[in-house]
Amino acid sequence: MPLLFVLLFLSSYVRTAFSAHCSTTTPTKTFEKCMALPTQQASMAWTFHAHNATLDLVFFGTFISPSGWVGWGINPSSAEMTGTRALVAFPDPNSGLLVLLPFILDPTVKLQKSPPLSRPLDIQLLSSSATLYGGKMATIHNGAAVQIYATFKLVKNKTKIHLVWNRGLYVQGYSPAIHPTTSSDLSSFATIDVLYGFSAAHKDDTRTLKTVHGILNAVSWGILLPIGAVTARYLRHMQALGPAWFYAHAGIQLSALFIGTVGFAIGIRLGELSPGVVYGLHRKLGFAAFSFGALQTLALLFRPKTTNKFRKYWKSYHHFVGYACVVLGVVNVFQGLEVMGESRSYAKLGYCLCLSTLIGACIALEVNSWVVFCRKSKEEKLRRERLIGGGSDKDSGSHG
């Protein structure tokens, strides 16, 4: 089951990675290089003129609402929204025609203290324009493609740019409203080298870390940990196994905790690599599951002997913390799939199949346990009745 999930997760990851494409040709211009951007099915094409450090660039984006907006920009200092010099395209509230306005995204925009107001950019923007795919007859609708052109004068001998892009559902007057806050929308930035045409390794490393984090935690907290709990619940009553059930249970749980710890550490690192991007619920569930897992491990060091009077309290604690850890782990796997934008992917389907198989096995084992319990109870009852009946006959014979 873990292998099936990993294969489906990787197939989903590969499918997503290669689903985007780019083009160097537009109806009005041809560019030298192009690149598919990692989110929102966006892409860009550009020509860099090294002799005068001029960059001709076009951004390809799509609207998600007829009254929405699409924008992209360059951040002079870092790959983040705050500080970006942006060009935003949206339908004019009065005429409905496509307009393109410049914005400087200062910290007040991120904090939503006031709507962004259009103002001239403080970088060397030589020209800019925006057109809808399809020409003058095209209209803005959900899924409409837009091309935003710009020509910049870059700093000499500096060929790396921090590109930021996004899109929103509506516009307030001539101010774009806040964009959605899914994982894809919060990760819409990259560092591009316009001379060589590749993205900086930081973004690729982050994406790879997210995939590894997802696989490790799903396999450990979402699959192995429940299997370990099932092993303890249903195999301990099989006398033929002896103490083997305990070693199997402890081995599976310790393996799950080790793998989960690695995944947890990668998650902490991802948080450090993504300042300003916080997934509150996913983070809290992860810390809670890891804490319960650590408590379970510590409980093994203080496990009383079977004859100890505190053994029953230890067992109650062990069961409660263990099942709580399993529930938190499974819930957080689904939350993690939502965060990664895999809510309708083969990865989620594979995990659901694994979980369904495990639940089906639990139901079958539970029914079997009750059948065995009822049979033993019935046999015990008959045995007691025979003993009582035999004792009464003896008493009657002695009295006679």
Cα–Cα distance between 346 and 87 in angstroms, integer? 36
318 marked as binding residue: yes
Give the Å distances, CA to CA, from 113 to 88, 167, 197, 278. 19, 19, 37, 19
Residue found under tokens 């505190």: 310
Q: Is 165 exposed, middle or buried (0-12, 13-18, 19+ CB in 10 A)?
A: buried
- Strand 98-104: give its sheet, edge to edge: 98-104, 85-91, 69-75, 160-168, 189-193, 198-199
Tell me whether residue 202 is annotated as binding. no
Per DSSP, 180 falls in state: P
Residue 319 annotated as lining a ligand binding site: no
User: Which one-letter DSSP state was computed for residue 188?
Assistant: -
- DSSP, residue by residue, 235-251: HTT-GGGTTHHHHHHHH
Reduced to 3 states (helix: H, G, I; strand: E, B; else coil), residue 192 is strand
197 Cβ contact list (under 8 Å, min separation 6): 33, 35
Q: Position 88: which residue type?
A: V
Ligand-binding annotation for 282, yes or no, is yes
What are 101's two structure tokens? 């306005």
The β-bridge partners of 70 are 89, 167
Which residues are documented as binding site for heme b? Answer: 213, 249, 282, 318
Q: Which residue ranges make up the annotated binding site? A: 213, 249, 282, 318
